[in-house]
A and B are shown apart, each in its own frame.
Chain A
Amino acid sequence: MIKSDRVTTTTCPYCGVGCTLQLHVKDDFIYKVTSPFDSPVNHGNLCVKGRFGYDFIYHPKRTTTPLVRRYLLEGRPKPVGREQVFAVSTQGKPIADSRISNDWDWVETDWDTALNVVTDNLVRIYQRDGSDAMAVYCCAKATNEDNYLLQKMYRALFRTNNVDHCTRLCHAGSVVALQQAVGSSAMSNTASQVVQNDVFIVTGSNTSENHPIIALQMKEAVQKYGAKMIVIDPRRIDLVDMAEMWLPLKPGTNVVVFSAMAHVIVKEDLVNHEFIANRTEGYNEFVESLEKFTPEYAEETSGVPAEDIRKAARMYAKAKNGAIYWGMGISQLSHGTASAMSLIHLAFITGHIGRDGTGLNPLRGQNNVQGASDMGAMPFHYPGYMRVDNPENRAKWEKAWNIEAGGLSLKLGLTTTEILSHAHEGGVRALYIMGENPMMSEPNLNDTRKHMLELEFLVAQDIFINESGSFADVFLPATPFAEKDGTFSNTDRRVQRVRAAHKPSGQARPDWQIICDLALRIESKLGVATSHWAYSNPEEILREMGSINSDYAGITYDRIDKVGLIYPVPSLDHPGTPTLFKESFPRGKGKFHTLDYVPVREQVDDEYPFILTTGRLLEHWHGGTMTRNSSLNEIYPEARVEIHPADAEIHGIRNGDPVKVQSRRGEVVLRATVTEKTTIGVVFIPWHFHEAAANLLTNDVLDPQAKIPEFKACAVQVFPARKKDLPNPEIELNRGRY
Chain B
Amino acid sequence: MTETITLIIDGQEVTTEKGKTLLEAAREAGRDIPTICYHKATTSNAVCRLCVVEVEGQRVLQPACIVKAGAGMKVQTRSEKVVRARRTILEMLSSTMDLSDSAEIQTMMYDYGASSSRFPGAERRDAEVKDDNPMYVRDYSKCLLCWRCVQVCAEDAQYTFAINFEGRGYETQIATFFDKPIPETSCVMCGQCVAVCPTGALKPKREFLLEQGMSPNEISVMNTGRKQRKPR
Interface residues of A (CB under 8 A from B): 1-2, 24, 26-35, 37, 43-48, 51-52, 55, 58-61, 64, 92, 212, 216, 219, 223-224, 242, 506, 618, 631, 634-635, 734-737
Contacts and interface: CB of A to CB of B under 8 A. Distances in A.
Given A55-B206, A216-B158, A635 B133 contact: yes
Counting chain A CB atoms within 10 Å of each CB, which of B134, B189, B200, B219 scores highest?
Answer: B189
Contacts of B185: 736-737
Interface stretch (B5-13, B51-59, B108-116, B224-232): B224-232
Contact of A37 (B40, B100, B133, B226): B40
9 contacts: A1-B100, A1-B103, A30-B206, A31-B210, A32-B207, A48-B191, A55-B206, A59-B224, A212-B190
A734 B183 contact: yes
A45 B206 contact: no
B126 interface: no
Interface in B212-229: 216-217, 219-221, 223-224, 226, 228-229
Contacts of A48: 135, 188-191
Contacts of B180: 736
A45 B192 CA distance: 6
Given A2-B211, A736-B183, A634 B159 contact: no
Interface string B126-138: 0000000111100
B71 interface: no
Given A45-B192, A51-B190, 13 more contacts: A2-B210, A26-B210, A28-B216, A35-B195, A44-B195, A48-B189, A52-B189, A58-B219, A64-B232, A212-B188, A216-B159, A242-B159, A631-B135
A18 to B, nearest CB: 16
A735 B184 CA distance: 5
B190 A47 contact: yes
Contacts of B155: 223-224
Interface in B184-208: 184-192, 194-195, 200, 204-207
B166 interface: no
Contacts of B184: 734-736
A661 B220 CA distance: 35
A37 B191 CA distance: 14
Nearest to B216: A29
B101 interface: yes
A662 to B, nearest CB: 30
A33 B155 CA distance: 23
B165 to A, nearest CB: 19
Given A1-B103, A635-B189, A737-B185, A31 B206 contact: yes
Interface in B88-145: 100-101, 103, 133-136
B210 A60 contact: no
B4 to A, nearest CB: 24
Given A31-B210, A60-B228, A216-B158, A634 B223 contact: yes
A185 to B, nearest CB: 30
A58 B216 contact: yes
A26 B223 CA distance: 21
B188 A631 contact: no
Contacts of B228: 60
Nearest to B136: A52
Interface residues of B, number: 45
Contacts of A24: 207
Interface of B: 40-41, 100-101, 103, 133-136, 152, 155, 157-159, 180, 183-192, 194-195, 200, 204-207, 210-211, 216-217, 219-221, 223-224, 226, 228-229, 232
Q: Which one of A32, A47, A224, A506 has the highest number of Cβ atoms from chain B below 10 Å of its Cβ?
A: A32
Contacts of B133: 635
Given A52-B204, A60-B224, A46 B211 contact: no
A481 to B, nearest CB: 17
A32 B209 CA distance: 11
A216 B152 CA distance: 11
A27 B211 contact: no
Contacts, number: 117
Contacts of A55: 206, 220
Nearest to A736: B184
B125 to A, nearest CB: 20
B216 A635 contact: no
Given A59-B220, A223-B159, A635 B135 contact: yes
Contacts of A61: 224, 226
A43 B157 CA distance: 10
Nearest to A618: B188
Nearest to A734: B183
Contact of B188 (A32, A242, A737): A737
A672 B189 CA distance: 23
B221 A60 contact: yes
Contacts of B200: 1
Contacts of B187: 736-737
Contacts of B152: 45
B183 A635 contact: yes
B191 A51 contact: yes
Contacts of A64: 232
B189 A34 contact: no
Nearest to A43: B41
A154 B219 CA distance: 41
Contacts of A37: 40-41
Given A47-B190, A737-B188, A32 B157 contact: no
Contacts of A212: 188, 190
Contacts of A1: 100-101, 103, 200, 211
Nearest to B133: A635
A2 B103 CA distance: 12
Contacts of A60: 220-221, 224, 226, 228-229
Nearest to B191: A51
Contacts of A2: 207, 210-211
Nearest to A51: B191
A1 B152 CA distance: 24
B157 A216 contact: yes
B159 to A, nearest CB: 5
A51 B226 contact: no
B120 to A, nearest CB: 26
B102 to A, nearest CB: 9
- Identify the interface centre among B158, B185, B206, B220: most chain A CB within 10 Å of its CB: B206
Contacts of A58: 216-217, 219-220
Contact of A47 (B134, B188, B223): B188
A29 B220 CA distance: 10
Contact of B190 (A26, A45, A59, A219): A45
A734 B195 CA distance: 25
Nearest to A38: B40
Contacts of A224: 155
A635 B41 contact: no
Contacts of B186: 736-737
8 cross-chain pairs, A with B, having the tightest CB-CB distances, nearest first:
A29-B216, A58-B220, A51-B191, A736-B184, A631-B134, A48-B189, A52-B135, A736-B185
A60 B157 CA distance: 35
Contacts of B188: 47-48, 212, 618, 737
Contacts of B224: 59-61
A735 B134 CA distance: 13
A47 to B, nearest CB: 5
Contacts of B204: 31-33, 51-52
A43 B40 CA distance: 11
Nearest to A29: B216
Contacts of B217: 58
A286 B203 CA distance: 57
A172 to B, nearest CB: 30
Contacts of B229: 60
A446 to B, nearest CB: 29
A214 B228 CA distance: 39
Given A46-B190, A212-B190, A92 B195 contact: no
Contacts of B192: 45-46
A408 B64 CA distance: 68
